[in-house]
Amino acid sequence: MSKLDLDPGVVAACRQAATRIAEQVAEQIAGRTTLSVERSVTRLLGVDGANALEVPLPNVLVDHVHERGGLGRGIAYWLGNAMIQTTSSPQQLAEAVSAGELDLLALQEAEEPAIHERVTSECAARLREIAQRFDERRAMRERLGDGAAPLRYVLTATGDVYEDVVHARAVAEGGGDIVAVIRSTAQSLLDYVPYGPTTEGYGGTFATQANFRIMREAMDEWSEQHGRYVRLSSFCSGLCMSEIAAMGAWEGFDNMVNDALYGILYRDINIVRGLIDQRISRMINGYFGVVINTGEDNYLRTADAIEAAPSVTASQFINHQLALDSGVPDSQIGLGDAFEIDVPVKNGLLYEWAQAQLTRELFPDCPVKYMPPTRHMDGNLFRTHAADTLFNLVTIATGQGIQTIGVPTEGIFTPHIHDRVLGLQNVGYVFNAAHDLGEEIEFKRGGIIQTRAQQVLAGAHELLERIAQTGLFGAIEDATFGDVSRKQDEGRGIEGIVSTEPGYFNPFVELMREASYA
């Protein structure tokens, strides 16, 4: 039964509108692929490495075909044909192309069914190989024990992957359940993924497959030593969304921040490019059981938390449906929410409670990722710690799935290890003291919390109906989300969109559509 006394008819209407919006998005991005999607095909096929100029081999392969006008048929078509004609592996083909020894489009072409059969067989083998790794990871998680919700999600951001390992171990020692390594500033704007381990990054560490492997091995070692499984997360967004999803799959990551709108709104990535890349990246994450986190919390950093609440809820409905359409089940859809009402607002705690409870009731099977207050933190670490305590209280009382811990020094500098431990200790105090608070509470009928939640839901419904008329692209242009406007024919990465030809083929999409491994 709804504690908020929500109207089930309004909730159903919101879901129906979100379904129509998602269908429109699918129609608008159909018939196109992107450079990143095609590079993710090569990465899932096991292609890795870089040439002498440090250009990643997936880029070398895809650019090679794109420059010759063949990418409309898909990189898989040309690799499948080359595997037939040369008996080489995808990695060997990439190295030969990089060395200037092979032109994929100059090879004699086999019959299309034979090409499809050969490359599909190779793709299926790679999916089985990755799935085997996830089977081993699932067994490890069951043997060591997973954390209980709300899972405590802690960020590290040193710029040096080896220093991140030190921070991650400290986070685990302090009780963290999920370690997330923030990417270096503006990596989302790179249309390639750097190769190898990195030790220099500003505001974070570069997301590379080597760095993923280093972090995974370190946390697995800690987990075995201490008998408690610690999850890993990264940021599957920007111009290389689907590639990062592929890298995370190979290295066994458990969670991925996976949302196109963040890059569209705050990094000016082209709308169409972002949504195509998001669709494929979510298919990969959904297939292997990786929990995705969406980015609604970011809207409240550029828009007023009270006024923008309906847009957050509307976006959650849309993001939820887009994720379902990519094959991600509710149990893996970590929708975004945040505790961002300014502290001086009278009854702000009640409004925050209403929003958090609303999200939980609307998406009961989703592990909602709840974000701490950051926008209004002014450097007074005592004030921040007090606000984080209220945030922790709402988190446990409303049963959020994943909680990004608040840190006292968040408004001053990138927090040190001991600052993060203080944040974790605060969480521990509150979660223990108020463990069953949510089960004990009922809200006053027609009171502040119920009224606020119902108003937000009504506003979200009105907004969703309007978006269903104008389309998501039009809503983004109208600055519906985060008070930021973007146009569909502008933005970074637009040159990386490729129209597909009638013979276009992406075997991974076809295989992942058939059945989810997870």
Residues known to be catalytic: 262, 297, 369
Closest CA relative to residue 242, chosen from 204, 211, 273, 210: 273
Residue with tokens 């370690």: 179
Q: What are the C-alpha distances in Å from 330 to residues 63, 137, 292, 324, 485?
A: 36, 21, 10, 8, 29
Residue 63 is encoded by which pair of tokens?
């650019």
**C-alpha–C-alpha distance, residues 157 and 386, integer Å:** 24
**C-alpha–C-alpha distance, residues 408 and 428, integer Å:** 15
Over its C-alpha atoms, the chain yields an Rg (Å, rounded) of: 23
**C-alpha–C-alpha distance, residues 253 and 382, integer Å:** 35
**C-alpha–C-alpha distance, residues 433 and 444, integer Å:** 23
Q: What are the C-alpha distances in Å from 107 to residues 82, 103, 139, 160, 362?
A: 7, 7, 45, 43, 54
Q: Apex CA 418: angle with CA 412 and CA 422, to 5°? A: 85
**C-alpha–C-alpha distance, residues 455 and 453, integer Å:** 5
Contact 28, 491 (CB under 8 A): no
Strand order in the sheet with 333-334: 333-334, 291-293, 255-257, 231-235, 178-181, 151-156, 402-404, 369-371, 336-338
Q: How many CB atoms lie within 10 A of CB 225?
A: 10
